[in-house]
Chains A and B, each alone.
Chain A
Amino acid sequence: MSAGKIAIRELVKVFRSPAGGEVRAIDGLSFGVPEGAFVSVLGPSGCGKSTLLNIMAGLDRPTSGEIQIDGRAITDQDRPRIGFVFQQPRLLPWRTIEGNLWLPLERTGNRAAGRAVIERYVELVGLRGFERYYPGQISGGMQQRVAIARALIMEPEILLMDEPFSNLDEMTARKMRAELIRIWQKTGKTIIFVTHDISEAIFLSTRVILTTRRPARIYRDLSIDLPVPRRYDDDRLFEIEKEVMRDFLQYMEDTEGAPPPEMGRPGGAGGEVLLGGY
């Protein structure tokens, strides 16, 4: 794999189920992401997409395999700066918009510089004038924009987004997607965007990685070589979407009732030893 921004190698994640069995969420996932790419990871719900992001963000540890960013493996001691946008805004309700944006900055301690940065990002996500509002006083779309600003504000090396627009109505989501593209073009961040929405993935990304049902492997790796910003009524997008949709529905149909997510007792099913290290 060429030296890119992110390299994911043979990533495996096995959870112990409450019943004492194992659930294999990710099964030997490998791919690389070049600097500045906008990669969507698209897969059926419950396929382990969020687990991938959690491992990248350091919330969870892989069972085996590794993730490198700029050639450095992510470890507990040495984590690169990562911006994360969750499905829900996850703002601190007792802090104003401004206060929430301070959260990742407080450790740096430089108040004057921090204030300038906050002003810039508030402007970037179009929330000027709302700095003193509490999250409960603004709409869901605006809250999610605050969350995006918070993810960008400490100049992360990569930006991870976990279905960030799935709780918004379609009109708001469209506006947000356009804004995200604008911000991406402006900042040149490397983005990993997890979604289950095929048209959203194709509309936004330079590359779409489709994963299989759980355990997640790569089903298809697809480059979208269309100029950005794109238009929703672009026929070429529509053609790609139709083709991917047909292919993926076929896959889902073919695999229906196939391997159950529960992999049996330790050492069963797969035959490999999956319980190492962790």
Chain B
Amino acid sequence: MKGNPASLQRLYSAILLLLVWIALASVFPPHIVPGPVVVLENVWENVTAQGAFSSQGAFFHIYKTVLRVVLGLVFAMIWGTAIGVVMGVSARGEKFFDGWVMVGLTIPAIVYGMVTLMWFGLNDFAAVMAIGVTAFPSVCINIWHGVKDIDMQLVDMAKVFQLQRGEIVRKVILPQIVPFILAATRYALGISWKICTTVELIGMSSGVGFMLNYWFGLFSMPQVFAWTFTFMVVLFLIEFGIIKPVERHLLAWRPAVHV
């Protein structure tokens, strides 16, 4: 894969998506499918409104959601990595925890939201806990597989060349798990944002989910689209501004990543 054709592919697919959107918007009225122009007008209104940075402004809600998502993600990454490593290195650990992970995966995210809101009250902590617990199993599974995938032949090689335990972990094992950590992050980010809006919708008085619910109550399809679009932009910024560059830096050795 060379750089150019790949980014062209991305451009084509974006244009196609836009055309489909425009086509649908031209067939249906704005309260069913608002077109790109209407949606962007609404976004623009929201972010340029007087008090957009105030405690009820658009940026405040975006900030709240980002904060909850990031804290929940960090929580899920820490615990997911810890338990995933234990499951990967020890057969006993695997047997002990795999039931937990499966249960974690099958419980609907909204249940976690309800339970944490009832336990901890309608606050950020409850939201962060709900996100963390929801995203945890998928982080855990990724890391678990990553650790099981470690090439023991390379570890043996390092032992023969008399590297110390710590060196083996840092220089031989960690780099092998990095792709799995990145995959886990990306996956957990998507989950976190979805559960965050849900929790905000059922129990918060701020955040993107709260605003979506607000405009849903007023039956304003353009605003529902506008807020969804706004947060998509935020997620894209995280993906292309943070995760992708980190990945490109860490995985430069993998030919497939030379996008």
Q: Give me the interface of A with B, judged by CB distance under 8 Å.
A: 57-59, 79, 81-82, 84, 86, 88, 90, 92-96, 103-104, 106-107, 134, 136-137, 150, 154
Asked if A134 contacts B153 (CB within 8 A), the reply is no
Cα A104 to Cα B158 in complex, Å, equals 8
In the bound complex, residues from chain A placing their C-beta under 8 Å from that of B172 are 92
Asked if B160 contacts A82 (CB within 8 A), the reply is yes
Asked if B153 contacts A88 (CB within 8 A), the reply is yes
Further 13 A-B residue pairs, CB within 8 A, beyond A86-B157, A92-B172: A59-B156, A82-B160, A84-B157, A84-B160, A88-B153, A92-B171, A94-B175, A103-B158, A107-B164, A107-B167, A136-B255, A150-B161, A154-B161
Q: Give me the interface of B with A, judged by CB distance under 8 Å.
A: 153-154, 156-164, 167, 171-172, 175, 251, 253-255
Cα A246 to Cα B175 in complex, Å, equals 49
Asked if B160 contacts A137 (CB within 8 A), the reply is no
In the bound complex, residues from chain A placing their C-beta under 8 Å from that of B251 are 94
Q: Please, which residue of chain A has its CB at the minimum distance from the CB of B161?
A: A104
Asked if B171 contacts A81 (CB within 8 A), the reply is no
In the bound complex, residues from chain A placing their C-beta under 8 Å from that of B255 are 136-137
| Majority secondary structure, B binding face | helix
Asked if B153 contacts A103 (CB within 8 A), the reply is no
Asked if A103 contacts B163 (CB within 8 A), the reply is yes
In the bound complex, residues from chain A placing their C-beta under 8 Å from that of B175 are 92, 94
Asked if A59 contacts B153 (CB within 8 A), the reply is no
Cα A58 to Cα B161 in complex, Å, equals 10
Asked if A58 contacts B171 (CB within 8 A), the reply is no
8 interchain residue pairs of minimum CB distance: A94-B253, A90-B157, A84-B160, A104-B161, A134-B253, A57-B160, A94-B175, A90-B153
Cα A104 to Cα B167 in complex, Å, equals 11
In the bound complex, residues from chain B placing their C-beta under 8 Å from that of A136 are 253-255
Asked if A59 contacts B158 (CB within 8 A), the reply is no
Asked if B253 contacts A59 (CB within 8 A), the reply is no
In the bound complex, residues from chain A placing their C-beta under 8 Å from that of B157 are 84, 86, 90
Cα A84 to Cα B156 in complex, Å, equals 11
28 contacts between A and B (CB under 8 A): A57-B160, A58-B160, A59-B156, A79-B162, A84-B157, A84-B160, A86-B153, A90-B154, A90-B157, A92-B171, A92-B172, A92-B175, A93-B253, A93-B254, A94-B175, A94-B251, A94-B254, A95-B253, A96-B253, A103-B158, A103-B163, A103-B171, A104-B161, A104-B162, A107-B162, A107-B163, A136-B253, A136-B254
Cα A28 to Cα B102 in complex, Å, equals 50
In the bound complex, residues from chain A placing their C-beta under 8 Å from that of B164 are 107
Tell me how far the C-beta of A69 lies from the nearest C-beta in chain B, rounded to whole angstroms: 14
Q: Please, which residue of chain B has its CB at the minimum distance from the CB of A96?
A: B253
Which residue of B160, B254, B255 has the most chain A CB atoms within 10 A of its CB atom? B160
Tell me how far the C-beta of B235 lies from the nearest C-beta in chain A, rounded to whole angstroms: 28
Tell me how far the C-beta of B120 lies from the nearest C-beta in chain A, rounded to whole angstroms: 42
Cα A136 to Cα B252 in complex, Å, equals 12
Cα A63 to Cα B255 in complex, Å, equals 44
Q: Please, which residue of chain A has its CB at the minimum distance from the CB of B153?
A: A90
Which residue of A57, A88, A150 has the most chain B CB atoms within 10 A of its CB atom? A57
In the bound complex, residues from chain B placing their C-beta under 8 Å from that of A93 are 253-254
Cα A82 to Cα B161 in complex, Å, equals 7
In the bound complex, residues from chain A placing their C-beta under 8 Å from that of B167 are 106-107
Tell me how far the C-beta of B232 lies from the nearest C-beta in chain A, rounded to whole angstroms: 33
Tell me how far the C-beta of A135 lies from the nearest C-beta in chain B, rounded to whole angstroms: 8
In the bound complex, residues from chain B placing their C-beta under 8 Å from that of A154 are 161
Cα A94 to Cα B156 in complex, Å, equals 17
Q: Please, which residue of chain A has its CB at the minimum distance from the CB of B172?
A: A92
Cα A136 to Cα B255 in complex, Å, equals 8
Which residue of B153, B162, B175, B254 has the most chain A CB atoms within 10 A of its CB atom? B162
Which residue of B153, B154, B161, B164 has the most chain A CB atoms within 10 A of its CB atom? B161
Cα A92 to Cα B156 in complex, Å, equals 12
Q: Please, which residue of chain B has its CB at the minimum distance from the CB of A154?
A: B161
Tell me how far the C-beta of B149 lies from the nearest C-beta in chain A, rounded to whole angstroms: 13
Which residue of A84, A90, A150 has the most chain B CB atoms within 10 A of its CB atom? A90
Tell me how far the C-beta of A107 lies from the nearest C-beta in chain B, rounded to whole angstroms: 8
Q: Please, which residue of chain A has its CB at the minimum distance from the CB of B162?
A: A79
Tell me how far the C-beta of B159 lies from the nearest C-beta in chain A, rounded to whole angstroms: 6
Asked if A59 contacts B160 (CB within 8 A), the reply is yes
Given the interface pairs A95-B253, A136-B253, A137-B255, the reply to whether A58 lies near B159 with Cβ below 8 Å is yes
Q: Please, which residue of chain B has its CB at the minimum distance from the CB of A54?
A: B156
Q: Please, which residue of chain A has its CB at the minimum distance from the CB of B178?
A: A94
Asked if B161 contacts A103 (CB within 8 A), the reply is yes
Asked if B162 contacts A59 (CB within 8 A), the reply is no
Asked if A81 contacts B162 (CB within 8 A), the reply is yes
Cα A92 to Cα B253 in complex, Å, equals 10
